[in-house]
Amino acid sequence: MSRYLEAFLEYLQINKGVSKNTYEAYKRDLLQFEEYIKKPIIEADNMDIISFLSSIGNKRSLNRKLSSINSFFDFAYKHGMSDTKHKIKQAKIPKTLPKFLTKEEILNAIKNIKPEKWFDLRDKSLILFIYATGLRISEALNTKISDIENGWVKVTMAKGEKQRIVPIAKVALDAIEEYLKKRPCQSEYLFVNKDCKPLSRISAFNITKKYLNVSPHVLRHSFATALVLGGADLRVVQELLGHSSLNTTQIYTHIQKENLKDTVIKYHPLELMEN
């Protein structure tokens, strides 16, 4: 048990005068969390908290443990032990947390891609492209080379009725540039197969399954999760994701282009690698 946790539990007993059952519940929850993250609780970040909560199946238990964690960080913040509360509201915890990968998991998988053939570079580019932009797999596969310009990708949404623009991290752009230099054929589409035809959904699924053991959609979840956990405004994230709800679209009408780019530069881990 870390000294920070000991201090909090002592505070509950002496200053708050909580019941024995309440004290034991806090102690049990926080010890479980500290054991899960394998470091002092004071060093936990939002990613640690979300990962821990996602491992808990029972929603009632999840909310109780979240309450314990929030109480600890309130205490740590008020007593100068932490600069931030790392507080997550229960109302924002979904009933079923979507599966996502961390930046480390994705980059470690990419390191295992040996660039022996041009399509190895394609696979690496596809993974980084989706993770860096949060595009749906259909949007990624429909992307043309001409859609990418000055660090932005123009995304044509369902039925071609609407477009949005999304900034791309330099790490992904560099991978795409390397891939296109080695690609032996000409096509207007960014991602192609060995016959130089647009890559199919099945092929894209096989690529992410091979290297990450997930579907392409998990990379989209990972993009959104990385931004939200970094503190990005949910409205900006939903604009970047291109959610189709009319009400949602109307809410985000006035979000400016530069705000979108600033959000990605500030919060997305691939951009943070460049700093």
Average pLDDT of 164-186? 95
* Annotation marks residue 220 as catalytic: yes
What's the token pair of residue 234? 């949910």
Q: Is the pLDDT of residue 247 over 60?
A: no
159 belongs to the catalytic site = yes
pLDDT tens figures, 206-239:
999 999 999 999 998 888 878 876 767 777 888 8
Catalytic-residue membership of 243: yes
- For residue 95, what pLDDT is reported? 45
Residue 79: active-site member: no
Mean pLDDT of 8-27: 86
Q: For residue 32, is pLDDT > 70?
A: yes
Q: Is the model's pLDDT at 56 over the cut of 50?
A: yes
The predicted pLDDT at position 255 comes to 37
**Residue 177: CA count within 13 A, CB half-sphere:** 10
Sorted by where each starts, the structural domains of the chain and their CATH numbers stand as: 3-90 (1.10.150.130), 103-272 (1.10.443.10)
pTM as predicted: 0.58
Could you tell me which residues come within 8 angstroms of residue 190 by beta carbon, excluding any fewer than 6 positions away?
Answer: 129, 140, 143, 144, 145, 147, 148, 176
Q: In the annotation, is 28 catalytic? A: no
> Which member of 85, 154, 170, 217 is catalytic?
217
